Chain A
Amino acid sequence: MRSADLHNSDPPVTGAAVCPPAPLLARELTGRDPVVTELRQACAAAVGRLIRSGPDVIAVVGAARSTETWPADGRLDLTAFAPGPAIREEKDGPALPLPLGLAARLLDEGGYRGERTFRSVNQKEQAAACLRLGADLSRCGERVGLLLMADGSARRSLRAPGYLDPRAAGFDAAIERAVRDGDPGALRDMDAGLAYELLATGRPAWQVLAGAMPGRARAAEVLYAGDPFGVFYLVAWLAGGAPNP
């Protein structure tokens, strides 16, 4: 009922690309070994789909310490993760929180030169606020593309950053199901407390996505799903309701 109603009034989102905000996406952080080549390729492919969907603005969303809008010329800053001589600043511009910075680089590498807006969401933001932000972002242009920096739990194995939590698999499976089914609205009721315990830092961003695309995606494509280090990474493209230009 709700889904159908909202679908009829869906804002003109061209679609959403989802990538994990993992520091190791930055090639220079993994040292001489590229480590996650396949994951990086999947992210590039998802962002390529997003750019080709012809948005007039791309809204980037990621969880961070605060809910705020960041400068559109913001850049990736890795010095907090790798102080010392290994990291060189590649271009001018204010430093972004890591998820947004990684997204900025993905857009740059994808050749995107259009308008962009960066929104961080407080890690503890309530679901209602996340959903509202998503709804607002979906209307921030005529044709809005979304780049969501979000992933699943970090407690999927004994070697995982957060060690093994048996609840992690089910939690992540629910995210994957919603994305594969092209039903991001299903993420609106994610359990914030459980997400926190599972180190699923992407929870607010998933709920922003639920708010921005409350109805069914026109198509859903998962480009990568895996947990090579005990953290659940999902790379996907969800095509929105806006027709191609």
Chain B
Amino acid sequence: MAIVNRTPDSFYDRGATWDSSAAMERVHAVVAEGADIVDIGGVPAAPGSEVTIAEEIRRTAPFVAAVRAAYPGQVISADTFRHETARELCAAGADLINDTWGGWDGRLPEVAAEFGAGLVCSHAGGLPPRTRPFRVEYGDLMADVLERTLAQAKRAVTLGVDPSRILLDPAHDFGKNTWHSLEVTRRLGDMVAAGWPVLVSLSHKDFIGETLNAARDERLAGTLATTAVCAWLGARVFRAHQVTQTRHVLDMISAIRGDLPPSRAVRGLA
């Protein structure tokens, strides 16, 4: 899942794809690099100046429509926590609603059901959208993660979302300090064991920066290491800025697991 931000101020790319032609160039690039999903969002996760629903739709809906027209078969994900935006983006061609804020807007599943779209059920610890964790504590972190995400998944099914299109996301950094994000990584297998496909969004996040004392542009190795561990533990979807490197990691892990033969093996075999 390749990240395509339609924002002037997202933390990592800082507006690199704010311009719509630059954003479309990015889509061409990530599709060529092998991204199965493009994730399009118009609101940064961090607090900051308000992005109204109308503005979010203005940033994303025409672009989703343009991507759909250019790539009829590509899976398009709408990165939004608001059902109004999700509805517009699904109407424009999005296949998946990536709600990173833990179901804050309870009407998102209705939209997914209405359009036959998928839904990501994530864990933000109950924090409102675009807020930072402040002294967040969990008596039992993994229990909370599983309880909240599974409750969303169950509710989504009840509201008519296709069960084969529901994913769980522990949501690293969301409602979590670095220790919490390390723990959900360590125990990702518990979430995989719940039976739903698991998505992880790790790319260049603060828990990696704090673990490695690495600035935002120095977190690729940490991102890929965490990606490898999550893949080994069974995650299925990886939200990423660097598609080529992420694919290499995932193909390598698949080969180690025995799920994917090497691309070409002649060493010692001649």
Contact = CB atoms under 8 A, between A and B. Distances in A.
A196 interface: no
Given A84-B179, A84-B186, A163 B134 contact: no
Contacts of A83: 138, 140-142, 179-180, 183
Given A31-B210, A33-B213, A84-B186, A161 B180 contact: no
9 contacts: A23-B135, A31-B178, A81-B135, A81-B177, A81-B180, A82-B183, A83-B140, A98-B135, A154-B134
B133 A86 contact: no
B213 A86 contact: no
Interface in B116-135: 131-135
10 closest cross-chain pairs (CB), A and B: A82-B179, A80-B137, A161-B134, A163-B47, A83-B183, A84-B183, A161-B132, A83-B141, A154-B134, A81-B137
Interface of B: 47-48, 131-142, 177-180, 182-183, 186, 210-211, 213
B134 A98 contact: no
Overall SS of chain B's interface: loop
Contacts of A162: 47, 131-132, 134
A117 interface: no
B134 A29 contact: no
A84 B176 CA distance: 14
Interface string A14-32: 0000000111000001010
A201 interface: yes
A219 interface: no
A69 to B, nearest CB: 21
A178 interface: no
Contact of B133 (A22, A98, A161, A231): A161
A223 interface: no
A201 B134 CA distance: 10
Contacts of B141: 83
Of listed A21, A84, A154, A162, residue having the most chain B CB within 10 A? A84
Interface in A158-194: 158, 160-163
A140 interface: no
